[in-house]
Amino acid sequence: MLMKASTPSSVLLVCLGNICRSPTAEEIFRQQAAIAGLNMKVDSAGTGDWHIGHKPDARAQRHAKSHGYNISKLVARQVNAEDFYNFDLILAMDTQNLADLQVIREELLGSSHTEKSLAKLALFSEEDPTYGGDNVPDPYKGDGDAFEEVIERIESSSKAWIESWKAV
């Protein structure tokens, strides 16, 4: 469980390929943080490397746009060790992504880095009273309903994180 101390100045959102869930989350989170008056760096990445340099999935772009989110200019990238220094908080879309991120973080800790110098990790839905502890399902092999569900869950969990920081 993540221990909240204060609002982070930077958040990285991570899924598997960085073409569906995390770019959608990046834009939704960025907009909701701005509406809440939070000045923070928001970015996204994937744990896998097969979509590096690609635009988000066309279906993700289409569904995001229908909700007022433009993700068409985002470009997929893979999470790297520098992200653990450049971000205060890294949020994983599912438990497998979180486990993959924990492995990287543990390797960095083994390299004589201190706990405080590295980003904190959490499951994206951790603070969400509706979806708390649930994975954001990967819509890649699904239909339009799968992309709609992802947007609903991401909006809910983004709001929950922002509300949790306001309560601190």
Query: Which residue in the list 57, 94, 138, 153 is annotated as catalytic?
Result: 138
Under 8 Å CB-to-CB from 30, ≥6 apart: which residues? Answer: 42
Query: Which residue in the list 15, 30, 57, 128 is annotated as catalytic?
Result: 15
Residue 21 designated active-site: yes
Residue 20 designated active-site: no
Check if the beta carbon of residue 135 is closer than 8 Å to that of residue 93.
Answer: yes
Helix axis angle, 144-166 to 21-35, nearest 10°: 40
Cα 142–chain centre separation: 20
Residue 138 designated active-site: yes
Query: Which residue in the list 20, 21, 57, 153 is annotated as catalytic?
Result: 21
- Residues labelled as active-site residues: 15, 21, 138
